[in-house]
Amino acid sequence: MAAKGTGFSWFRFVVMVLGGLVLLFIVAPLLGMFIHTPLSDVAHTATESEVTNSVWLTIWVSMAATVVFAIAAIPFAYFLARNNFPLKKVVLGIIDLPVVIPHSAAGIALLGIISKQSVIGGMFSSLGIELVGTRVAIAMAMAFVSIPFLINAAREGFAMVPEKLEKTALTLGASPFQVFFTISLPLAWRSVVSGLVLMFARGMSEFGAVIIVAYHPMVAPILIFERFNQFGLKYARPVTVIFIVISLLVFIALRLIANKKIKND
Amino acid sequence: MIELQSISKKFGDFALENINFEVDEGEYFMLLGPSGAGKSMLLEIIAGLVKPDSGAVWLNGNDITDMPTRKRKFGLVFQEFTVFPHMSVFDNIAYPLKRLRYSRSELNSRVAELAKQFSIEKLLSRFPENLSGGEKQRMVLARTLACKPKLLLLDEPLSSVDVQLSMELRSLLRSINAQGQTIIHVTHDYEEAISLATRVAVINAGKIEQMGSARDVFQNPKSEFIARFTGVHNFFPVQLKASGNHGLYIAQLNSDINFYCYADKIAKVGYVCFSENAVVLSVNEPNQSTVNVFRGVIKEIIPQRFGFEVMVDIGTRVVSHITWEAMERLGIVEGVEIWISFKASAVRFISSVD
């Protein structure tokens, strides 16, 4: 941002110093960790199958959770963007609930419906399917805490698509399904992708809810916690570094793919 | 062809009440009214985008009130350029055709044909963000007409464009109508109505106040609202003739009455209108620069909020507005003879053909 007028401004100076402190606060711990973790440790840890399996598990379960829940969440977001109804505020409040409640509490609540003693968990159990301690439980915990990010981002994206474009498409012979797939979704695509990436990222990093419904198989955040608990900071660091680097690579890749898709449209 | 039967619809604190009208094949029907009168809502009801609370829409003898929009095959053009920004001009125009399972070659040739008709054939690979306002609107019209709609609905299509472009589009709409396209056009601009309509309905506060030919409605406004809204009491169909002076034309009402007026281009037929405020009354023959001078008889004096409306018969009725003060000074009463005069530049000519 260019300064208005010339000369020294105390206000600008103060704002910049404070901003710099905030940035430093974010960057310093991460940077410190990278500096204090010898590359040889990282390379050694990266060959441990427990670590690679855990990182891989975290990525694909979060991705699966995002994709499966998106099938229902995206049309729902569209519905919310286009319709007003009584108690809409209540519905929006419910969607935001997972963001405001402690995630361990969310895990406990979720456990309540999937454990063998509960109705749903009992039903699956009678079919010979256990939910607690499975990838399904992990996916549910990840989705529970991250789905508001997708719904809210997609809803905002759909709300920005002019309704008259959809009305025009209807008069041009398109069915409501065709209007959604040819007009609304492509025009809201950027926001929807943003929501998908956010949901995926939030799901990957989830610890509190996941640890309650499934300690094993171990997702990366739990592995980091376990290494720290059992062996201390020095042993937790290499896993952390690997997880952060891989997470960043995945997000950058997703962003690039999404942006390319937008340009091609 | 299309008939609305006692359509009513409440929305918020506003309502359309008992709307009835019928539009024939090939007509250019104009719904004229101030903003907020319910015109756009009415178009959306006809298009099937909004369901009326009561009443029915009939198309060629079939009740289509509950028919979904896409099956009605009506085209709808909004005031905003409703281009699909994520599609090229080609894909925009092809959009309705793709719903119809055209073969690739049929589709290509139909798009090419439409693009040529609307002079956008060089723009097919461009995206809408790179088009001018006029190009966008032509593309939207081409897309709307691609499937040969039974009925073309226009919601203020000329309101967001400049004068030059508005003239171009008027001419385009006129030619589309001349090819037999039935059109219902919503506007708040009486000039547009005069220039394009074969029939006009004036709508106000959710009700149709008057319906008829443009001439009927403007010459004989049935309510004060219409008179005020259209704002032209002095409204006459004319034939235009050159006067010999550059830019000055003779607008011929009949063999006895000619007005002088200015016009940009010579069109043979049209309408002239001039404000009642432009018409000056005088007891003696005026000796001024005005070219339009007539002698007539005062038929009626109607008190208004600010002054009087004076109807003068000069072989046709001309309305003048004068202040209370002028009224006292002139001391005129009904039945006396009077001179009226107005400048040629106060007379507005609106062509009704190209």
Sequence-distant (≥ 6) Cβ neighbours of residue A241 within 8 angstroms:
A33, A34, A37, A42
Residue A208 placed within a domain: yes
Beta bridge partners of B319: B311
User: Over 70: is that where the pLDDT of B224 sits?
Assistant: no
Residue A173 placed within a domain: yes
Q: Do A183 and B84 touch (CB under 8 A)?
A: yes
- pLDDT class of B6 with cuts at 50, 70, 90: very high
How many structural domains comprise chain A?
Answer: 1
Count the neighbouring beta carbons within 10 Å of the beta carbon of residue B311.
18
Q: What is the mean pLDDT of residues B38-44?
A: 90
The Cα of A255 is separated from the nearest Cα of chain B by a number of Å equal to 19
Residue A182 placed within a domain: yes
Task: Report the range out of A164-168, B158-162, B238-242, B274-278 with the highest average pLDDT.
Answer: A164-168
Q: Judge whether B47 is closer than 8 Å to chain A, CB to CB.
A: yes
Secondary structure class of A20 (helix, strand, coil):
helix
Find out whether B270 and B351 touch, Cβ atoms under 8 Å: yes
Query: How is the beta sheet containing B317-322 ordered, strand by strand?
Result: B280-282, B337-342, B292-304, B307-313, B317-322
- pLDDT class of A81 with cuts at 50, 70, 90: very high
Residue A6 placed within a domain: no
Q: Is B320 exposed, middle or buried (0-12, 13-18, 19+ CB in 10 A)?
A: buried
User: Over 90: is that where the pLDDT of A4 sits?
Assistant: no
Q: What is the mean pLDDT of residues A173-179?
A: 94
**The pLDDT of residue A19:** 96
**The pLDDT of residue A180:** 96
Query: What is each CA distance from B42 to A220, B1, B47, B52, B134, in whole angstroms?
Result: 59, 17, 9, 9, 26
Range of the domain at A116: 48-264
Residue A35 placed within a domain: no
The Cα of A223 is separated from the nearest Cα of chain B by a number of Å equal to 44
Query: What is each CA distance from A201 to A158, A205, B240, in whole angstroms?
Result: 22, 6, 74
**The pLDDT of residue A265:** 47
Residue A158 placed within a domain: yes
**The pLDDT of residue A83:** 94
Instruction: For each of the domains in chain B, give its residue range(s) and CATH number, in order of start.
Output: 2-230 (3.40.50.300), 234-351 (2.40.50.100)
User: Residue A117 belongs to a domain with what CATH number?
Assistant: 1.10.3720.10
Q: Do A164 and B84 touch (CB under 8 A)?
A: no
Q: Do A173 and B86 touch (CB under 8 A)?
A: no
Q: Which residues of A touch B (CB under 8 A)?
A: 162, 164-165, 167-175, 178, 182-183, 186-187, 265
Side chain identity, residue B174 = R
Residues A57-72 pLDDT 10s: 999 999 999 999 999 9
Interface of B with A in 106-145 (CB under 8 A): 143-144
Query: ipTM of the predicted structure?
Result: 0.80
User: Over 80: is that where the pLDDT of B233 sits?
Assistant: no
Residues B61-81 pLDDT 10s: 999 999 999 999 999 999 888
Whole-model pTM above 0.90?
no
